[in-house]
Amino acid sequence: MIGELLPASVLVEVAYDDPPQARLEPAEEAVIARAVDSRRREFTTVRHCARLALTRLGVPYRPLVPGLRGAPGWPDGVVGSLTHCAGFRAAAVARATDVTSLGIDAEPALPLPEGVFDAIALPAEQKRIAELLAEQPEIPWDRILFSAKESVYKTWFPLTGLFLDFSEADLTLRPDGTFHAELLVPGPVVGGHRLGSFAGRWAVRDGLLATAITVLA
């Protein structure tokens, strides 16, 4: 599903379970040594997905050790994004000559837990989500908004190295499977131009939802 939200220049690998052949490099093992089993399995499998995607890209795998704010350090000349939730893991990679930055996120297709929506949504976003829920109550619009904001952050951070709060981007979800993220703080400079917004896509299927953003080179 995530692959359908990204251009052909982005290679995606997904997993719906934790394959026994998934393994970690020693530097990755050190990071996860004291983690609980569920965290260890998702950490390992999402890197297994990244290894497969990088192999398809023709790039040798190197340990994806979380760096500042947990962002993985990709091989030189590669941009990528990881996501995992219950029953799903995915990695997306591309050459930096094709894509400047990308962000993916997957979530269960369920409403957000009580209190989360009010914490992550701006008043204007809350109004728009209420309107969407009134028209299509079967779609978890609040969780899509949360996921889209996660994709915004994953796209933003490699370009800036800065934190971006939920309140610093105003998102508009559209029923056609797209969304627009207006940055409320100065955006990153890409190719000599300051970006004021990101464009993304979303999908819901088989109990999962996914969002993705690509900034082409």
Q: Assign residue 95 the CATH number of its domain.
A: 3.90.470
One domain for residues 97 and 148: no
Average pLDDT, the chain: 95
One domain for residues 202 and 137: yes
Span 199-206, average pLDDT: 97
One domain for residues 114 and 99: no
Assess contact for 204 and 109: CB atoms under 8 A.
yes
Q: What is the pTM of this model?
A: 0.95
| Domain end point (choices 104, 132, 160) | 104
pLDDT score recorded for residue 69: 75
One domain for residues 116 and 211: yes
Q: What tokens were used for 187?
A: 């955006």
Higher pLDDT, 1 or 25: 25
| Domain end point (choices 69, 104, 139) | 104
Domain that holds residue 127: 109-216
pLDDT score recorded for residue 68: 75
How many domains would you assign to the chain?
2
* Among the listed residues 166, 172, 181, 155, the one whose alpha carbon sits nearest the alpha carbon of residue 117: 166
Tally Cβ neighbours within 10 Å of residue 49: 23
One domain for residues 96 and 116: no
pLDDT score recorded for residue 67: 81
One domain for residues 151 and 98: no
